A and B are shown apart, each in its own frame.
Chain A
Amino acid sequence: MTEDGFEDFMKDAAKGYRKPPSVPREAMWQRIQEVRLARRARFRTVAWGAGMAAALVIGVAIGRYAYSNVEMGQPIASGVEEEGAHGAYRYAAADHFERADAFLAMFAAEAEAGTADEEIKEWALNLMVTTQLMLQSPAAEDPAFRELLEDLEAILVQIAGYEPEWGEMELELIEDGIQERNVVLRLQALAANTETFTTEGVE
């Protein structure tokens, strides 16, 4: 009895191991479509609430920007006119980048510890909707802001779809996306530069 003989036997006999039936292509495709449709409907409902929260977050940041001008002894109109709406939205975007940076750090830690849960998912959804609103705002007219917002959106969409039973590979795919796009460093750099810019603009 040789090893080769066994391998030949294996090659031949193993082909019949749990021989699959014909593939139910159409039935599976229908099911895939149904599941995705149901998810989209659920997502739209949750996103509506998240949209309200996101608008509030942006409004508060813009208000803070205007208020900081008043504190510096300048009338609101003068500060906002000088920078235009862009300054306020850039400030709001920088504020958003800081929160996104903190979130991604927490997500990485939770994913590694295997403790990522529904709360993380909801947080990602809220940030994602804010990101989408930012993409529609004057802040996205700056190419660097737009590019970062788009990359951030792509990552947050994945995290918002997080399921607790996900395996390591799925978390690795998200982490790979964050690394490949260099998102964390870009978030930190733009947040810091924008804060400096805003302060300089006000003084």
Chain B
Amino acid sequence: MEEVQLLEKARRKDADAERGLYERHVDRVYYLAYRMTGDETMAQDITQDTFIKAFDKLDSFRGDSKFSTWLHRIATTVTLNALRKVKKFRLEGPMELADNVGAGTVHAEPDLTEKLYRAIDSLPERYRTVVVMHDVEGYKHQEIAGALGIEVGTSKAQLSRARAQLREMLSDFAGEWAL
């Protein structure tokens, strides 16, 4: 069934159509949530919350943009809100749990790739989001712009600045990445 038909039926609360939309988009939403948080439970909560909100607000989706763009706008908002809550908790709550959230795998002697991951972790949120979406998950700038509510040029500029920061952070390894 075409997505337009699924949307039309889902607006009328057709459970099969809602499931159809879920099946089409859940992987991408989950992958993004996981890559952003590095935590399975958070990624599941974010994915669930994204679809609950999307189904609740389906009437407000007028079809001016692609459904996937609209859905990812919700997903990125839910993800960034969740990360902010964790950050707040990390500042106010027990450090042990907070330190495990979003930290990724840690090795005693990290190789260059591991260094890169740590460097991505330490990027400012807006840069890390664009890097994860573009370089990790393969979103196009058009999709990133739609999801984050920014201009395409801003997405490109943020990616460029993020890469420059990563190069700077990994400058000790300069030369190794060309091998």
A, B bound: yes
Q: Which of B82-125 contact A (CB under 8 A)?
A: 85, 104, 112-113, 116-117, 120
Is there a chain B Cβ closer than 8 Å to A113's Cβ? no
Give the chain B neighbours of A14 by CB distance below 8 A.
116, 120, 131, 135-136
Chain A proximity of B23: nearest CB distance (Å): 7
Main secondary structure of the interface of B (DSSP, over half): helix
Say yes or no: B73 contacts A7, CB within 8 Å. no
Pairwise interchain contact B178-A5, C-beta atoms closer than 8 A = yes
| A2, A32, A173, A180: most-surrounded residue (chain B CB, <10 A) | A32
- C-alpha spacing A101/B74, complex, angstroms: 28
With CB as the reference atom, state the residue of chain B lying closest to A180.
Answer: B62
Interface residues of A, dominant DSSP:
helix
B52–A173 touching, CB < 8 Å? no
Which A residues are closer than 8 A to B by beta carbons?
A: 1-3, 5-11, 13-18, 20-21, 23-25, 27-29, 31-32, 35-36, 154, 157-158, 161, 165, 167, 169-170, 172-174, 176-177, 180
For the complex, count residues of B whose C-beta is within 8 A of A: 48
B127 within 8 A of A: no
Residues of B within 8 A of A (CB): 19, 22-23, 26-27, 30-31, 34-35, 38, 40, 43-44, 47-48, 51-53, 55-57, 59-60, 62, 73-74, 77, 80-81, 85, 104, 112-113, 116-117, 120, 131-132, 135-136, 149, 163, 166-167, 174-175, 177-178
* Known contacts A20-B43, A158-B57: A29-B81 contact under CB 8 Å: no
